[in-house]
């Protein structure tokens, strides 16, 4: 199910619009490390944007991102599996396209809503 565009936070929108095609997010598997976009060359003197672990984990839980690779859980230290490579899900890609194109979802299905980009 596609979420209403009003439920996407600014931080989530930044992640969604940074990803497309072959781009994904990677990080060191250690707890607390930020995720960075892959296949993206930063401008000289600038780093690739970093996204906080908590934000990415929240987006995985919401079904906007999926885990490609994760570090195994460590039960002796009560540590869960840690994702270190994630990408957009089908739903996440639909949300990204909506953000990029400006297409919105009506508040109720009976009322048509014009494209904001028009």
Most confident stretch, 27-36, 65-74, 108-117: 65-74
Residue 18 has pLDDT above 70, yes or no: yes
pLDDT at 48 (0 to 100): 77
The DSSP 8-state label assigned to residue 37 in this structure reads E
- Alpha helices of the chain — where are they, by DSSP H? 10-18, 53-61, 90-101
Per-domain boundaries in the chain: 5-101
pLDDT at 106 (0 to 100): 46
Residue 107 has pLDDT above 60, yes or no: no
CA 53 to the chain's CA centroid: 11
pLDDT at 104 (0 to 100): 58
**Of 11, 34, 118, 21, the residue nearest 82 (C-alpha):** 34
> What pTM did the predictor assign?
0.73
CA 44 to the chain's CA centroid: 25
Other Cβ atoms within 10 Å of 89 Cβ, number:
16
The answer to whether the beta carbons of residues 88 and 71 sit under 8 Å apart is no
**For 43-102, how does the pLDDT look when each residue is reduced to its tens digit (9 = 90+)?**
777 777 889 999 999 999 999 999 999 888 888 988 788 888 999 999 999 999 999 888
């Amino acid at each position: 199910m596609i979420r209403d565009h009003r439920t996407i936070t600014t931080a989530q929108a930044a992640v969604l619009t940074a990803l497309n095609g072959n781009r994904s997010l990677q990080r060191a598997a250690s707890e607390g490390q930020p995720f960075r976009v892959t296949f993206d060359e930063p401008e000289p003197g600038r780093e690739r944007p970093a996204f906080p672990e908590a934000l990415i984990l929240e987006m995985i839980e919401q079904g906007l991102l999926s885990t490609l690779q994760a570090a195994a859980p460590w039960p002796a230290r009560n540590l869960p599996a840690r994702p270190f490579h994630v990408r957009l899900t089908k739903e996440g890609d639909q949300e990204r396209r909506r953000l990029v194109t400006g297409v919105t979802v009506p508040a109720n299905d009976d009322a048509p809503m014009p494209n904001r980009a028009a």
